Structure 1
């Protein structure tokens, strides 16, 4: 904004001394009016560009149109054979604004229009005019390129800061989890195996959670905050077949998914199986994995009594987020869906998510 005031002052000074001064112009009164319009527009543009909400395409087009109008009216006001245009370098305000907003292409468009208008209106083009046109042609694109580069560097810096903060938080949580939760889970697993019976099943479940937590703590973060690499979903789901009363059917080939997505799918299936074991003790459950094209579908079915009408809404109101967050929330985050079918003959969850790198 300071630049606009500086180039306006320069334009007024040049107008007073170039081409014999205002008194030698063909229409000096009109010239004074144009200088007044430039002053008013400078004040308006300074106010308008301060608010990001006003910095739209309409303002930029109007800014460039005023600059072009000042150039176009110069021959009518000064007459033929003028050396300096009335706005002079005042047009830099619109040029740089286009470069900042539309980057290098926008700066080039504005430079071509301004330089082309100036050259086309002159009867005689001298070396200084070509030099000014060259400055206009390279000034806008250079400013646009620099702005784009700075924006990219800022985004990369913010991403690096987020990654560093995430790594520090993961290290802190790893210490907390190791000192507390993992040791308790390991103790429950060991004591459950020693006691036997139902305690052995509790120990097995504690062992599964211990392994999941250790994997989470060790996982390397990718750009989205999840583990990098790929994971065979078929192999991961097959492990769930070790649970009592659970049968898993998967394709005879690997179903590779990005590691984070595969981990989330397994978490959804695990939550569905846990719900069945918790609310329908003794019920059998089946897990079916299918993959075709760019889609992966996992069906989790049990032969329990089903979910009573309104039970899910009641659970969500009580703060129990197993279905709303662990199942449906995860599916939505993956860009997929989790459809529920329930009745007296059992419950069926159908999870559909994009496959591959989508």
Structure 2
């Protein structure tokens, strides 16, 4: 909903309430008018106009400039008609004009629709009409008119600031959405394409010959692709098509889920919109990976379970790449009341201090996106504990966010 929509609703209520107030003043001073029937005719027109135009002030789209001009005309005519139907003594005493404070509604319509400049113009017209009606610059009239002028201009300025803030917020949300989509694509690419290119480069170099040339080309493409996905959010004109194209890419963790689905345990893991995290992690267990966890299922929302399992897969990929094929890894799943924590520990050489930050700057996004990015999107956290020669421990935690019925 637009930030200014409540102002239009308030203006609608204001016009109705001030009409009732003007009618009450007319009825109370009926016997004091020189021409009460003439005043009554204007009040009837004002009532019909207000009733017929209620929907016109319900939104910015319906409130057109033509309507605002007509609304202001009705108010000004009522002000200028007052000396013709009321006594000179009552006017000199400061008796309200026929439309009374209903006139401010016409001015506020200009303020909400066009900002402070429109409000200043409409207020000036109303002030001029009131000065003509009073026949001069009466002190009480000037005070009231200045109040209307200042208030309408202030409201118009506030509306302009609100609109600018709304545009800024919308742009920030678009940038955030584009950034998240880019990170999601980067995670998918890291978990699939980049891993394959890296493997081709290593195997090609080991085989030699033409395979080495193919491996070198794969390495060059890997570097180019890493640079592409780490250059920042796409916020320009191409962001729309890129986002649309992203919808056709398989979500992060899909490959892991497909592998897990080949096992009988995983076939029974998903119930409705919840999945058993242990069943999704089971395919990783083997001679070099030990999986430990509770004796019962660890249910999580399907999307959260898939993302957490994919993050564990990325951590194990790092173990194989940096600690070697013979390194041993241990996966520990802890099912706590308020969170699910998965710890991945290895007996590799550890991570030198500052290496993770350097890798992110170099475009190696396994930690930045495939692990930390996934956990951030789930509202969780990822922590690394490592020392040279003492292995590495990665702690991944996902909050349950008030889940019940476990």
Query: How does the TM-score come out when normalised to structure 1?
Result: 0.56
Distance 1:205 1:22 in 2: 95
Distance 1:57 1:91 in 2: 17
Partner of 1:8: 19
Partner of 1:172: 184
Partner of 1:131: 143
Q: How does 1:1-358 map to 2 (within 5 A)?
A: 1-17=12-28, 21-50=29-58, 52-81=60-89, 82=91, 83-123=95-135, 125-192=137-204, 202-221=214-233, 224=236
Unpaired runs of 5+ in structure 1? 228-358
The answer as to whether partners of 1:107 and 1:139 remain within 8 angstroms in 2 is: no
Query: Residue 194 and residue 42 in structure 1: after superposition, are their counterparts in 2 closer, same or farther (change >3 A)?
Result: same
Distance 1:134 1:118 in 2: 11
* Residue 152 (structure 1) shift: 1.7
* Residue 196 (structure 1) shift: 6.4
* Residue 120 (structure 1) shift: 2.0
Query: How does the TM-score come out when normalised to structure 2?
Result: 0.50
Query: Residue 208 and residue 127 in structure 1: after superposition, are their counterparts in 2 closer, same or farther (change >3 A)?
Result: same
Distance 1:65 1:198 in 2: 86
The answer as to whether partners of 1:112 and 1:136 remain within 8 angstroms in 2 is: no
The answer as to whether partners of 1:106 and 1:140 remain within 8 angstroms in 2 is: no
Q: Deviations over 1:156-190 (max 9, x none)?
A: 22233333333333333322221211111222344
Partner of 1:308: none
Residues paired across the two proteins, number: 224
Q: Deviations over 1:6-47 (max 9, x none)?
A: 111121222234xxx122222211100111111111112212
With CA pairs under 8 Å and 6+ residues apart, which has the higher RCO, 1 or 2?
2
The answer as to whether partners of 1:95 and 1:140 remain within 8 angstroms in 2 is: yes
Distance 1:97 1:126 in 2: 27
Unpaired runs of 5+ in structure 2? 1-11, 240-406
